[in-house]
A and B are shown apart, each in its own frame.
Chain A
């Protein structure tokens, strides 16, 4: 028993730095945010408030900028999470089937992961932006097919959203490809041999063997993908600059940032309320994901 006690003390001591750090910089602020979100009429200068209630939530939920940000975020989530996971899956399967130049392609697909977001944003601007001198590479392509130029960065909403989703998918792909190629490679080839002897078609092997076996990883990517996409902000700044409200491309995290530090900033209560709303959304979606996964994901 004495030994057990000694061991658990050692374990706690090892965990202590992390617990202190997380407590000070994560748990305490989280509780603080929750408190802030219910303090009405908080004054930043005097650090005082008028009362406790749900006004902050009501304000945020009626703020057209928040509604717009909410809508943008949902569109990005719904489009980019399934598409990036699907595309990553297709590329990973293709990668696992080639033998020549496999490493080269794997490196190429992984490059965006180690590239700075803002640098990628700059490249996308050059590709998509319409300036006085040029319509941009993409528009030159569009013109070649006989269509009219579109301003992707300052033009219509759907064009901006298209660039936004395209960009997001492109940025998250490498990590997903990395995870999926390694999990496809980890499926024991004996299963494919067994299936082959039993006359299984390639397609059926994929649906009946590969997919179930890598389902925990796909599920992991979907969950982290949802969470990541709900927290989208820096990608938007990289493409459309800091004034996202003017561009009509703000996201929830962008809204929270604006409420704290932006031109219209200085409202920690509103920012906190928006943060709590975001948290509830992400929490709900994750719980739904977990419930669905119980039926579809196979864990060994």
Chain B
């Protein structure tokens, strides 16, 4: 089932101050989550991504705007009537119940003609336990299980009542690195197997990029960019998105457009730019640098770090918006420096120009 968020705004009363003021957690947010897809809400903490999740689940009501499940307006519908499955960051498994009782819990809430017999419940519990591969753990208590196993139980509990949509709040952040990798593949498998529309919240761009069909990047309650992960990475709409996606981070220089050419300091990066003269930021992905003696950007060489397949060149430039420029090149590339200076060519498809005031992308090609 597709989910539509139509101009959603959510304001919370500010509890810290005596005077009446409000904090805007989500600001005029519109997005349509296509049926059966896995979508990642991505952003730094406090950007409102968890609030979006709560608005979809019905735990929170929007201040303005509407939420649709399919064609039904569910804005006023309380959480218990929406039929969503929600997995919390710390799983929220009932510690006093066994795994079986935890998974059965949502089924026991069903009333009227939806009410299930004991056998039907057990069958559903078994089926979903099999899906997340925890059949052997059904009689354990949550405290007797690892974080990864608890995570699976939480997903099973969310899935057992066949929800229309599955919501996951930072599903992997409580797991250790190795388990995180394994679990995110597992999440993808479960999502593909069930075909359920899934939305998950994360602050980890790698996590979002690796398993989702679409990503939605948020900042301060606003939607910054949405789309297929690789496309968003390859073509960021603004400086924030460019900086947020990719590790190591994109290298940002202060530059300017003058006489239809792009400059970083005195170095002319590119000619034939169709724009008025203005100050800009130039973002270059680490993989966008090519050491070349007839390159365009001169930097002060600092260090070469070779790590197996890749090597990093650490360098400095007075117009660089940070401390160290990190460029990644294949480790077999010959690196030549003259008088402590290294010269780079910049790959055009890895170089982005942003307005210095609005920080929006300026298309230069």
Contacts and interface: CB of A to CB of B under 8 A. Distances in A.
Chains A and B come from one and the same complex: yes
A201 interface: yes
A249 B108 CA distance: 50
Nearest to B87: A194
Contact of A193 (B78, B92, B95, B105): B92
Given A197-B86, A198-B106, A191 B79 contact: no
Nearest to A209: B94
B59 A197 contact: yes
A198 B143 contact: no
B109 interface: yes
B72 interface: no
A300 B94 CA distance: 11
A203 B95 CA distance: 19
A198 B109 contact: yes
B29 interface: no
A213 B95 CA distance: 9
B15 to A, nearest CB: 12
A205 to B, nearest CB: 10
Nearest to B82: A197
A43 B130 CA distance: 78
B90 to A, nearest CB: 7
6 contacts: A194-B92, A197-B86, A198-B105, A198-B157, A199-B80, A199-B109
Contact of B96 (A188, A200, A213): A213
A212 B57 CA distance: 26
B94 A196 contact: no
A300 B86 contact: no
B146 interface: no
Given A190-B88, A199-B81, 6 more contacts: A195-B105, A197-B80, A201-B109, A208-B94, A208-B105, A212-B96
B84 interface: yes
B338 to A, nearest CB: 60
A209 B105 CA distance: 11
A298 interface: yes
A199 B84 CA distance: 10
Contacts of B106: 198-200
A191 B157 CA distance: 13
B95 A200 contact: no
* A194, A201, A204, A208 — most chain B CB neighbours (10 Å): A194
B161 interface: yes
Interface string B30-73: 00000000000000000000000000011100000000000000
Given A190-B88, A201-B109, A298 B96 contact: yes
Given A191-B92, A193-B88, A213-B96, A200 B59 contact: no
Contact of B161 (A188, A198, A300): A198
A53 B109 CA distance: 63
Given A190-B88, A190-B90, A208-B105, A196 B79 contact: yes
B102 to A, nearest CB: 10
A191 B91 CA distance: 9
Interface string A162-203: 000000000000000000000000001011011111111100
Interface string A205-217: 0001100110000
Interface in B172-206: none
Contacts of A193: 59, 86, 88, 92
B95 A300 contact: yes
A191 B93 CA distance: 7
A212 B141 CA distance: 14
Nearest to A211: B96
A156 B105 CA distance: 52
Contact of A197 (B84, B94, B108, B110): B84
Given A193-B59, A300-B95, A300-B143, A200 B80 contact: yes
A126 B90 CA distance: 56
Contacts of A298: 95-96
A286 B340 CA distance: 82
Nearest to B93: A194
Given A196-B59, A197-B57, A198-B161, A190 B80 contact: no
Contacts of A195: 105
Nearest to A298: B96
Nearest to A204: B109
B324 to A, nearest CB: 41
Contacts of B96: 212-213, 298, 300
Contacts of B161: 198
Nearest to A300: B95
A209 B94 CA distance: 7
A191 B110 CA distance: 18
Contacts of B105: 195, 198, 200, 208
Nearest to A213: B96
